Structure 1
């Protein structure tokens, strides 16, 4: 993974259709939970609400050069990823995960070579009922994230681009 700063990527690619995710979503802010501070790659999208079945399935597949982007509806009632699923992501080469919702097992996730941005942490796990849609265009934070777009995240924020920036 090449090191980068989202500010520099944005400056170097003016007028290229890059979207910048809003830093505040209904008073909630994305926070970095993973051991990798900056991460990026091609987006794989999933929309699920309080059910992490699809998150677990996708992160168990080859993720080389990819970032899983999860629209969890900003639920603060349960986590959509914990340490075991995050470990699976590392084993399968995923660059990172962006979750519009919560994670758990944050100390274990912080020790992994995986970028993770989410709104908050909560100890409650989600249910698994097999619900969720994959490969859909997500809309949150003032941006649209199509499956196959490129996302880049660091402590400055999250960018969405129609083409690779690195």
Structure 2
């Protein structure tokens, strides 16, 4: 994968750079792929359901509203994502089981961690554009992530 800094130098304003300082919590530091999205708040039922479907190298972008009050991904959901071929997840919220997730072949970036479980009602939307930190993530656009940050096609 091309480093995000080099990619930005090559393509410039074709790409949006996420200004948030996300933590690298997965076992893979560099990942990219087509965007799939979920918007949910303190409820990870849709995250679990989508990660259980074929990922085909996609990156799941989860707009959790920036809440750190409960985790939107844990080790079981992350393991399901690996089994189903997802490249990674970018979570505007928290995860849990960070040590276990760090041992998986999955890229995971999130705001932080919290051991508290989330609700399981299934509230939210899938595969609609989401805006995080002023950057719009559209389903199907390509996203690149590494230790320097996150870029997405405009």
TM class by shorter chain equals: over 0.9
Aligned-pair CA distance for 1:101: 0.1
Q: Distance in 2 between matches of 1:64 and 1:115?
A: 14
Q: Secondary structure at the match of 1:97?
A: strand
Give the number of equivalent residue pairs: 154
> Residues 76-87 of structure 1: matches in 2 within 5 Å?
76-87=68-79
Q: Distance in 1 between matches of 2:36 and 2:109?
A: 15
Q: Distance in 2 between matches of 1:156 and 1:144?
A: 19
Query: Structure 1: where are the runs of 5+ without partners?
Result: 24-28
Q: Distance in 2 between matches of 1:46 and 1:21?
A: 17
- The residue number in structure 1 matching 2:5 is 7
- The residue number in structure 2 matching 1:26 is none
Q: Secondary structure at the match of 1:11?
A: helix
- The residue number in structure 2 matching 1:49 is 41
- The residue number in structure 1 matching 2:86 is 94
Q: Deviation above 4 Å: which 4+ runs of structure 1? A: none
Name the Cα RMSD after superposition: 0.9
Aligned-pair CA distance for 1:71: 0.2
Q: Distance in 2 between matches of 1:101 and 1:4?
A: 26
TM-score by length of 2: 0.97
Q: Distance in 2 between matches of 1:110 and 1:41?
A: 20
**Whose strand proportion is higher, 1 or 2?**
2
Aligned-pair CA distance for 1:157: 0.5
- The residue number in structure 2 matching 1:131 is 123
Q: Distance in 2 between matches of 1:88 and 1:109?
A: 11
Q: Distance in 2 between matches of 1:69 and 1:140?
A: 9
Q: Secondary structure at the match of 1:41?
A: strand
> Residues 106-117 of structure 1: matches in 2 within 5 Å?
106-117=98-109
- The residue number in structure 1 matching 2:15 is 18
Q: Secondary structure at the match of 1:14?
A: helix
Query: Structure 2: where are the runs of 5+ without partners?
Result: none
